[in-house]
Amino acid sequence: MRPIKQNGYHHGNLRRAVIDAALEAIAESGPAGWSLRELARRAGVSHAAPAHHFGDKTGLLTAVAAEGFGMFADALERAAGDALEVGVAYVRFAVGHRPYFEVMFRPELYRMDDPDLATARERAARVLVTSSGTLSPAPAQDRLTTIAAWSLVHGFAGLWLSGSLPEAAHEDPEALARSVIRLFSGMSSPG
Partner DNA sequence: TCGCCATTTTGTCAATGTCAAGATAGGGTG
Partner DNA sequence: CACCCTATCTTGACATTGACAAAATGGCGA
Which stretches of the chain bind DNA, using CB under 7 A? Answer: 4-5, 8-14, 34-38, 40, 45-49, 51-53, 55-58
Q: How far is the CB of 37 from DNA (least distance, A)?
A: 4
Position 148 contacts a second copy (CB under 8 A) = yes
Give dist(CA 143, CA 151) in Å, integer.
12
Nearest to 148 by CA among 116, 191, 180, 179: 180
User: Under DSSP, is residue 10 helix (H, G, I), strand (E, B) or coil?
Assistant: coil
Site string for a second copy, 21-50 (x = CB under 8 A): --------xxxxx-----------------
Contact in structure between 95 and 161 (CB atoms under 8 Å) = yes
Q: How far is the CB of 67 from a second copy (least distance, A)?
A: 18
Judge residue 131's burial from the number of C-beta atoms within 10 Å of its C-beta, 0-12 exposed, 13-18 middle, 19 or more buried. Answer: buried
Closer of 43 and 75 to a second copy (Cβ): 75
Closer of 4 and 165 to DNA (Cβ): 4
Q: How far is the CB of 145 from a second copy (least distance, A)?
A: 7
Number of residues that bind a second copy (CB under 8 A): 40
Give dist(CA 82, CA 70) in Å, integer.
20
Give dist(CA 129, CA 85) in Å, integer.
14
Contact in structure between 149 and 135 (CB atoms under 8 Å) = yes
Task: Indicate the helix (H) or strand (E) that contains 17.
Answer: helix 14-29
Q: How far is the CB of 66 from DNA (least distance, A)?
A: 17
Q: Which does 81 bind (CB under 5 to 8 A by kind): DNA, a second copy, none?
A: none
Contact in structure between 156 and 87 (CB atoms under 8 Å) = no
Q: Which does 179 bind (CB under 5 to 8 A by kind): a second copy, DNA, none?
A: a second copy
Residues within the interface to a second copy (CB under 8 A): 29-33, 105-109, 137, 140-141, 143-145, 147-148, 150-159, 162-165, 167-168, 176, 179-180, 183-184, 190
